Each structure stands twice: as C-alpha cells, then as structure tokens.
Amino acid sequence: MVKSLKFTHFQTMNFKALLIFLVLAFSSPSWAEVDSSNLTALDTISLSEVTPATDQQWKSDIALIIDKAYELTGIKYKLGGSKPETGFDCSQFVKYVFEQALNLSLPPSARSLSKVGETIKFEDLQPGDLVFFNTRKSKFSHVGIYVGNNEFIHAPRTGKTIRVESLTKNYWLKRFNGATRVEPEETL
C-alpha cells in the first residue's frame, strides 16, 4: 500500500517561504532589489525561522570531525608522529583530523592550538571543541577533541593508542586547562 503525502497549509507556506528565501539569497546581490509586491504575508519568512546554511554546514562538519577522529581509534601514539602509518602525538592527531575532515590547516602544537578559536567554558563544551590539559607541568601541553557525553578522543602517550576517555575521570579533571571552539573562518 502506498501512502500519499499531504501537506498542511502551514507546511506548504513554510516550504514556499523557504523557497523564496533561497531564491532571494542566491539570485539577488541585495535584499533591496527584490520586488516583494506580489508576496502575501503568509509567503514571507523571518530569518530566525530558518537555520542559517552556515550553521547547518558547521553541524555536518562537526560530524565529519568526530567520524574522522573515531576512524583513527587504536592507532599508536608516536611523539612527533603525523600520519596513521607512523602514529600520532596529541597535537598532530588533532591537526590531521581537521585537515582530513574539513581541509582546515591548524597549528602543529597543543600550545599553539590553544590560541585558535573561541575560549569555551567546561559546561559549554560541544562535540568538535578542543580540550586542553596540563600533563607535563606546563599549561596546554596536551590536547584532544571533545566528542560529547563528557568524553574526548586523543593520542595519550607512548605505549598507548588513540582512544576515548572521560573528562570527569579524576586524572583529566584535575589537569583540565580549558577549551576552544575552532570555526572555519578562524583557522590559519
């Protein structure tokens, strides 16, 4: 049995409004040049009703970042390593993930990565954020990628492999230095 789709008047109006918005956004160099005299009040849409394309793109970019990071789980740690074949250190792991997932070039060290992006509070962490730790009696000496649910993925140390760990584990919680959110326009 085939079900037919029926749209409510509200859904039809929202779809029309979205189409109008897209046409206006991509065909006109300026909103002022649009002739809106033949639009009804129901056909218009406020910008707050539509998630901006850049926000939607960034959400899908975050999924790419997390997927690429998980693909590398189990690869061995290697100080200075920058390829899956040789292994990774923490900052090269982060750099590689962002390059492969989004073609974004990030700095090569944890300390320099800490200077890129917007500073984020612990309670405001979102997947894709970079998390920093003091693991060598030096601020920002270790970095990982937050994946959600108070967990992050990282290349821990010699003899270990890339893995997911809890931020609330006492060891990491005591050494947490801060976090940043890297957006595409903020990268090098």
Residue type for 120, please? I
Average pLDDT, the chain: 78
Residue 96 has φ and ψ, to the nearest 5°, of -60, -45
Q: Write down the pLDDT at residue 77.
A: 97
Q: Is the pLDDT reported for residue 110 higher than 60?
A: yes
Q: Which residue has the higher pLDDT, 34 or 160?
A: 160
Could you give the CA distance from residue 175 to residue 139 in angstroms, rounded to a whole number?
A: 9
pLDDT, average across residues 50-63: 65
**Does 154 qualify as catalytic in the annotation?**
yes
pLDDT, average across residues 125-148: 96
Q: Write down the pLDDT at residue 184.
A: 65
Catalytic residue among 62, 65, 90, 167: 90
The top-level CATH class assigned to 53-186 is alpha beta
Q: Where are the domains of the chain?
A: 9-31+38-49, 53-186
Catalytic residue among 154, 179, 181, 182: 154
Residue 112 near residue 119 (C-beta atoms within 8 A): no
Q: How confident is the model at residue 183 (pLDDT cuts 50, 70, 90)?
A: confident
Q: Write down the pLDDT at residue 121.
A: 96
Angle between the 90-102 and 53-71 helix axes, to the nearest 10 degrees? 130
Catalytic residue among 128, 142, 145, 155: 142
**Does 9 qualify as catalytic in the annotation?**
no
Residue 42 has φ and ψ, to the nearest 5°, of -75, -20
- The pTM of the full predicted model, rounded to 2 decimals, is 0.70
**Does 142 qualify as catalytic in the annotation?**
yes
The two structure tokens encoding residue 89: 């250190």
Q: Write down the pLDDT at residue 177.
A: 95
What lies within 8 Å, CB to CB, of 178 at 6+ separation is 114, 119, 120, 131, 132, 140
